[in-house]
Amino acid sequence: MNNNPIGVFDSGIGGLTVAREIVKQLPHESIIYLGDTARVPYGTRSKEIVIKFALELANFLLRRKVKSLVVACNTISAVALDKIKNISPVPILDVIAPAVKKGVRATKNKRIGVIGTSGTIQSGAYALQIKKIDPRIKVFSVSCPLFVPLAEEGLHKHQATRLIAKDYLDELVRLKIDTLILGCTHYPLLYDTITEILGPKVTLIDSAQPTIESLKKVLEEKGLISENNNPTYEFYVTDAPGRVYQVTRRFFGSKLKGKIKKVSLGD
């Protein structure tokens, strides 16, 4: 048994879609969430910069004695995972490997679509991992950069978003994928809009659920599960939290159980 918190980090607030899954699947676990709201988005930045930022975020959480780290950002998972593993004494979960496994299990016609930020798609991480499991699978990747700001602005069900989504996804409809991996923390908010365009026969894979299933397994195997009946939730951001309060509810699914505090990554 270990009651230390789980550290969850993201380029911003999108990772709250992963944190809420911890609350759901592991209700006795305490969480420290860190979002780099001062420097979001990461999805358009170079690999070198994302690695530098990601190590700063991981170190901030490791100093707070977290018992495991959840990289709740696809862009960071795609380009910086090995570097974070090098510095971390605690188990690390990323959001790509669990989504890949679930996607490979789901596809019947061996045609999988992947959508994500430019950084994630350019890294080729999803296609690489899918092909490693089953080289016969065809992977079609599309970056959807406008989805992040649209979700943050609360426009994920807006008519304009539907038009943009159609433009991004029409090609995947033509390519007859039967499974689509939502390779970005923000995309679960666009679930209905995406389903409308791809049709109900395409299975959408959101990484939050399989990631936290994997986390649960790792914690159990390593004897790190908490039995705390009063878990704590701490939320840290790197910019003034004003705007964050307005949007977190959409990503977390309910009001945050705890205050959001601005921190400096050197703290």
Q: Is 5 in the site for ligand DGL (CB under 6 A)?
A: no
Which stretch, 73-81, 97-105, 167-175, 209-217, contacts ligand DGL (CB under 6 A)?
73-81
| Residue facing ligand DGL at closest CB distance | 43
Q: CB of 230: closest distance to ligand DGL in angstroms?
A: 30
Q: Is 107 in the site for ligand DGL (CB under 6 A)?
A: no
Q: Is 155 helix (H, G, I), strand (E, B) or coil?
A: coil
Catalytic residue among 184, 194, 208, 225: 184
The reply to whether 144 belongs to the active site is no
Q: Which of residues 194-253 bind ligand DGL (CB under 6 A)?
A: none
The reply to whether 73 belongs to the active site is yes
Distances, alpha carbon 108 to alpha carbons 166, 173, 183, in Å? 24, 16, 20
Interatomic CA distance for residues 18 and 5, integer angstroms: 15
| Alpha helix positions (H), the chain | 16-25, 47-62, 74-87, 96-106, 118-123, 125-133, 147-152, 159-174, 191-198, 208-221, 242-252
Q: Which of residues 161-180 bind ligand DGL (CB under 6 A)?
A: none
Residues 166 and 159: beta-carbon distance below 8 Å: no
Q: Which of residues 22-41 bind ligand DGL (CB under 6 A)?
A: 40-41
Q: Is 148 in the site for ligand DGL (CB under 6 A)?
A: yes
Crossing angle of helices 208-221/16-25, nearest 10°? 50
Sketch the per residue contact string, 40 through 59, with ligand DGL: x for CB under 6 A, - otherwise: xxxx----------------
Q: Is 184 in the site for ligand DGL (CB under 6 A)?
A: yes
Torsion of CA 56, 62, 66, 71, to 10 degrees: 30
Residues 140 and 113: beta-carbon distance below 8 Å: yes
The nearer residue to ligand DGL, 97 or 148, going by C-beta atoms, is 148
Q: What residues are annotated to the active site? A: 73, 184
